[in-house]
Amino acid sequence: YAFLSKNLFNLANYHYRQYFFENSQKLSFNQLYHLVSKTS
């Protein structure tokens, strides 16, 4: 499960950073959850 956990963290981190660089705002946990849960 460590491998999957690492991948999930990296995916969430990628989405969070991309959103911040594009919008100069933080992505909420709720928005991040829905982005990541759709890709799993």
Query: What's the total number of domains in the chain?
Result: 1
Report the alpha-carbon distance of residue 20 to residue 40 in Å, rounded. Answer: 22
Q: What integer pLDDT is reported at residue 7 of this predicted model?
A: 94
Q: How many CB atoms sit inside 10 A of residue 1's CB?
A: 6
Q: What integer pLDDT is reported at residue 10 of this predicted model?
A: 96
pLDDT in tens for each of the 40 residues of the chain?
899 999 999 999 999 999 999 999 999 999 999 999 986 5
Q: What integer pLDDT is reported at residue 39 of this predicted model?
A: 67
Q: What integer pLDDT is reported at residue 20 of this predicted model?
A: 97
Q: Locate tokens 């990541």: which residue?
A: 36
Domain of 29?
A: 2-39
Q: What integer pLDDT is reported at residue 40 of this predicted model?
A: 55
Provide the whole-model pTM. Answer: 0.81
